[in-house]
Structure 1
Amino acid sequence: MGMMPTVATPDLDVVDDTELTAVPPSSWQTVVWNDPVNLMSYVSHVFRTYFGFDAATAERLMLAVHHDGHAVVARGPREVMEAHAHAMHDYGLWATVRKEPA
């Protein structure tokens, strides 16, 4: 039989200065933007139908879209916010995903 190869062992005294920071899952937003096409009643309808908002919440968010130019309609993990934005596009609304401001 032959000799076993020598296996090098790592130096366990090495200090790793790498700092890992986790991004909280709720650090993304779905933003719906005002457009010249959709009626306010339709935007409220979409918010109630898709997100399940009550009438008052849907109306408040729709008015924010209309008067402020946009409204944050959801917060959560990026993948979920991207799915919401895609759904808003399917309804004909303008929507984007953005990182929540710090």
Structure 2
Amino acid sequence: MGLMTTAWPDADVAREQAPAAASPWQTIVWDDPVNLMSYVVRVFRDYFGYDTDRATALMLRVHHDGHAVVAEGAREQMELHAQAMHDYGLWATVRKATE
């Protein structure tokens, strides 16, 4: 009787696929003509828990660059953050983080 072998998935293939599956996503807040800068700082402080310096820096990036990455992590969490930003009246989207 011959020896039976079991084909195991190639470990290299599994390693190559794992980083893609675990790649972070980002919540992006976009500049708008409606919300005051002080309000955006308050939203970032209240919702994300950022200190005043971090919240102000992010708000200034939104104001000057037109957008800022305000959070990074699992897709589901970033979608929740984007929805929360919408609830606060801010424009936000979710995207896959770039390498």
The one-letter code sitting in structure 1 at the alignment partner of 2:25 is W
The one-letter code sitting in structure 1 at the alignment partner of 2:66 is G
Q: Describe the superposition over 1:33-87 as per-residue Cα deviations: whole angstroms up to 9, x where unpaired.
A: 0011111111001000000000010000000000000010001000000000000
Structure 1 residue 16: deviation in Å?
Answer: 4.8
Structure label with greater radius of gyration: 1
In structure 1, stretches of 5+ residues that fail to align are: 1-10
Aligned equivalent of 2:88, options 87, 91, 100: 91
What's 1:12 paired with?
A: 5
**Moved beyond 6 Å, runs of 4+:** none
Identity of paired residues, percent? 63
Q: CA RMSD in A?
A: 1.7
What's 2:74 paired with?
A: 77
SS in 2 for 1:75: strand
| Higher percent of residues as helix | 2
In structure 2, stretches of 5+ residues that fail to align are: none
C-alpha separation in 1, matches of 2:76 and 2:51:
24
The one-letter code sitting in structure 2 at the alignment partner of 1:63 is L
C-alpha separation in 2, matches of 1:24 and 1:36:
35
Superposed counterparts of 1:51-62, under 5 Å: 51-62=48-59
